[in-house]
Amino acid sequence: DIQMTQSPSSVSASVGDRVTITCRASQGISSWLAWYQQKPGKAPKLLIYAASSLQSGVPSRFSGSGSGTDFTLTISSLQPEDFATYYCQQANSFPRTFGQGTRLEIK
C-alpha cells in the first residue's frame, strides 16, 4: 500500500494568512493526488484533484501543486470558513489511501 504522510499534523493561523500543507507519498504517484476539506460532523469535500486541478465551485484561494512524491495544498488568504481538517488521498493505485489529516485552527 502507498502511505501518505501529511505535515504538519496541526497548524494555527489567522484570517488573512497564507498556509501551506504538505503531503508526501511513500512512492511516486505522478499527479494522482486529491485534497479534501472536512469540517466537524460533516462529510469531506473535494477541493483539488490531479494534484493541481480545482474542483468546480471551490474558491480560487485554494491551490495544489506537486508531482511524484511531494505535494502541497496552499490557501492564499485564510477565511473564517477555512478552519477545518484537510486530507490528501492518492489515486495512483488500489487500495486508495489517505493522509492522517492536518487540522487548521484559528490562532
Partner 1 sequence: QLQLQESGPGLVKPSETLSLTCTVSGGSISSSSYYWGWIRQPPGKGLEWIGSIYYSGSTYYNPSLKSRVTISVDTSKNQFSLKLSSVTAADTAVYYCARHLRAAPRDAFDIWGQGTMVTVSS
Tell me 15's DSSP state: T
Binding to partner 1 (CB under 8 A): which residues in 33-92?
34, 36, 42-46, 49-50, 53, 55, 87, 89, 91
- Backbone φ and ψ for 79, nearest 5 degrees, come out as -110, 160
Nearest distance from C-beta of residue 43 to partner 1, angstroms: 4
Peptide bond into 95 cis (omega under 30): yes
Query: Which of 19, 23, 71, 97 lies at the binding interface for partner 1 (CB under 8 A)?
Result: 97
**CA-CA distance, 55 to 105, in Å (whole number)?**
23
Q: Which parts of this chain interact with partner 1 (CB under 8 A)? A: 1, 31-32, 34, 36, 42-46, 49-50, 53, 55, 87, 89, 91, 94-101
